[in-house]
Structure formats: structure tokens, C-alpha cells
């Protein structure tokens, strides 16, 4: 029982970070029906920028904010120069571009910072909030989860209460009518990309701030697959779905996999992909999503 509870806490920890990356993917998918395969790498690059700034003496959370801004600006630049050149309904070239970005960003991060793992600043107080018997609930878990929920609330508010948020949702809903209403599509999408990148960077930073982990350039590949599954599970166009999806995947990883005897540990990634498979075949709109899926 203790072990189960501990595992549930682990699930919440991991799930929250997957959720943040999943949120980033959902943002872009909502507006453009594009899946940005480079999202993980953008987030990782942002986290490395944060690390570098901290190395140079900038206080932790300041570094995180600046890192998020950097990510956002870079993403806006990428959208303007690369993505906007293509017809949004033609998926193949766009997928290929994001794959190219995946390679390029990963390579640049590795060239600048090498592959040696480094220690990331501890963004949250270390130690445990409480420990009963063998169950430890660390401050990290509490803060990671809370940050995730806060980010979602902030995004929700941004999208529902601001003018640009309204524009973003309008573009997601009907792009032609948005044009006819005077909304500048390109600028609005750029905003979406920037927001997604910032959210992703925050997610990667929180992930890296885990006292038991270290940061290195290939950390996000696994996270990408897990968060894509989380996003699909929750519904590719639902923000809160991303949280549910993230927690579910975390849960599957930490709890389900442990308790079904014939699935060994290495399979946790495969378990996630199997979940993805099931979702895409039987309920492509996910748990909370609404978008009509491209069906044949």
C-alpha cells in the first residue's frame, strides 16, 4: 500500500511535466492542426538557455522567465520564416519541416553544451513535505503539480479573457471567417507558437529541476513521445485534456506497468505507445477533445 502511494506520487510528478509539454503541443494543434515534432527539442533548448543564464549568475526563476521569453521569440521567428510558407492543410511538408527542426535544434544544443549531463538548478525547495512510514511526498512533486495547474489556469484565462486569446480561438475554429473578421492570421498563429514554446520550456525546466535527474540534450525525445500520447489521449485540442492525459500517462508509467507482471520496466514507453494506438483507433478525439478527426 505504501509502495502504491509512493508510485502514485511518482505518477503525479512525471505526469505534470508531460502535461506541460502536452499543453504546448495542444496549443499548436488547436490553431493549426499541425503536430510539432520539434516541440520537445524547443523545450529542451529553452531549458538549456535557462541553465546557461543561471550559470552566469542570474537568479533561478529570473533565468526561467528569460528562457521562456527566448523560446517564445525563437518560436515566433520559426513560425514566420518556415511554417507560414506552407499551406496549412498539406501536412507532409510541414511534418518534414518539424522533423528537420528536431534534428537541427538537437544538434545545436549538443554542439553548444555537449552531451554530458549537468545539474539543473533546483527550482523548488528540496526535501519532503511529509514522510509517513516509507511514503515520501516531496516538495518537488507538490510544486511541479501546482505549477502545472497554475500554467493551465493562466493559459485558460489568456485564451478566454483577452482579445488575442479570442483571436486564437477564432482561428482554431474557422480560419476563413477569422480572415473576414479582420483577424491577422499570421500574427495570431505566431502568438500560439510563442506561447507553446514558452509553456514547453517551463515544462522542460521543471522536469530538469527534478532532484534525481540531470539535464542533457537527448532528454526530451522520450518526453516527446510520452507527451504526444498524453495530448492525444486528452484530446488534441483540449488544454485540460492535456493535464488529464499527462497524469494518465504518468499513472500508466509508474503504477500500471509495475502492477501488471508481464510488462517489464523497459516497456513503459511501449505501454504509452500502445495507449496511443488504442486512442487513435477507437477514440481519436481523445477524452475531452472536440475536433472532427480526419477520417477516410
Q: What would the grid cell of residue 272 be?
A: 504509452
Per the CB < 8 A criterion, the answer to whether 229 and 284 are in contact is no
CA 112 to chain centre: 23
The residue from 44, 144, 167, 223 that contacts another protein (CB under 8 A) is 167
290 binds another protein per the rule CB under 8 A: yes
Cα dist. 227→24, 39, 78, 96, 277 in Å? 9, 10, 22, 20, 14
Beta carbon nearer to another protein, 118 or 136: 118
Q: Which stretch binds another protein (CB under 8 A): 10-18, 28-36, 62-70, 148-156?
A: 28-36
- What H or E segment, with its residue span, contains residue 130? strand 128-132
Beta carbon nearer to another protein, 97 or 209: 97
Q: Which stretch binds another protein (CB under 8 A): 62-70, 182-190, 192-200, 252-260?
A: 182-190
* x/- track of binding to another protein for residues 184-223 (CB under 8 A): x------------------------------------x--
CA 171 to chain centre: 21
Q: How far apart are CA 6 and CA 25, in angstroms?
A: 29
256 binds another protein per the rule CB under 8 A: no
CB atoms within 10 A of CB 129: 13
- The residues with which 118 forms a beta bridge, in sequence order, are 215
Residues that bind another protein (CB under 8 A): 33-35, 37, 82, 85, 91-93, 95-97, 99-108, 110-111, 114-115, 163, 166-167, 169-170, 172-174, 176-184, 221, 225, 228-229, 232, 264, 266-267, 269-270, 272-273, 276-277, 280-281, 284, 290, 293-296
Amino acid at each position: 500500500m505504501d509502495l502504491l502511494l509512493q508510485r502514485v506520487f511518482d505518477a503525479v510528478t512525471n505526469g505534470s511535466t508531460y502535461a506541460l509539454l502536452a499543453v504546448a503541443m495542444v496549443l499548436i494543434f488547436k490553431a493549426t492542426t499541425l503536430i510539432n515534432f520539434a516541440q520537445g527539442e524547443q523545450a529542451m533548448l529553452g531549458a538549456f538557455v535557462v541553465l546557461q543564464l543561471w550559470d552566469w549568475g542570474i537568479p533561478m526563476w529570473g533565468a526561467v522567465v528569460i528562457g521562456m521569453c527566448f523560446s517564445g521569440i525563437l518560436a515566433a521567428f520559426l513560425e514566420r520564416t518556415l511554417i507560414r510558407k506552407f499551406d496549412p492543410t498539406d501536412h507532409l511538408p510541414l511534418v518534414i519541416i518539424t522533423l528537420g527542426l528536431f534534428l537541427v535544434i538537437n544538434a545545436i544544443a549538443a554542439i553548444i553544451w555537449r552531451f554530458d549531463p549537468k545539474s539543473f538548478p533546483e527550482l523548488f525547495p528540496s526535501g519532503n513535505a511529509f514522510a509517513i512510514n516509507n511514503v515520501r511526498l516531496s516538495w518537488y512533486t507538490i510544486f511541479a503539480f501546482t505549477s502545472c495547474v497554475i500554467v493551465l489556469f493562466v493559459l485558460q484565462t489568456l485564451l478566454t479573457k483577452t482579445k488575442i486569446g479570442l483571436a486564437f480561438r477564432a482561428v482554431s475554429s474557422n480560419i476563413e471567417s477569422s480572415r473576414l473578421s479582420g483577424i491577422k492570421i499570421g500574427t495570431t498563429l505566431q502568438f500560439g507558437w510563442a506561447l507553446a514554446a514558452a509553456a514547453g520550456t517551463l515544462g522542460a525546466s521543471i522536469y530538469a529541476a527534478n532532484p534525481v535527474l540531470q539535464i542533457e540534450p537527448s532528454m526530451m525525445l522520450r518526453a516527446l513521445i510520452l507527451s504526444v500520447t498524453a495530448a492525444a489521449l486528452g484530446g488534441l485540442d483540449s488544454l485540460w485534456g492535456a493535464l488529464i492525459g499527462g497524469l494518465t500517462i504518468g499513472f500508466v508509467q509508474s503504477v500500471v506497468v509495475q502492477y501488471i507482471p508481464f510488462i517489464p520496466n523497459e516497456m513503459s514507453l511501449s505501454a504509452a505507445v500502445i495507449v496511443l494506438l488504442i486512442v487513435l483507433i477507437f477514440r481519436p478525439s481523445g477524452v475531452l477533445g472536440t475536433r472532427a478527426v480526419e477520417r477516410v
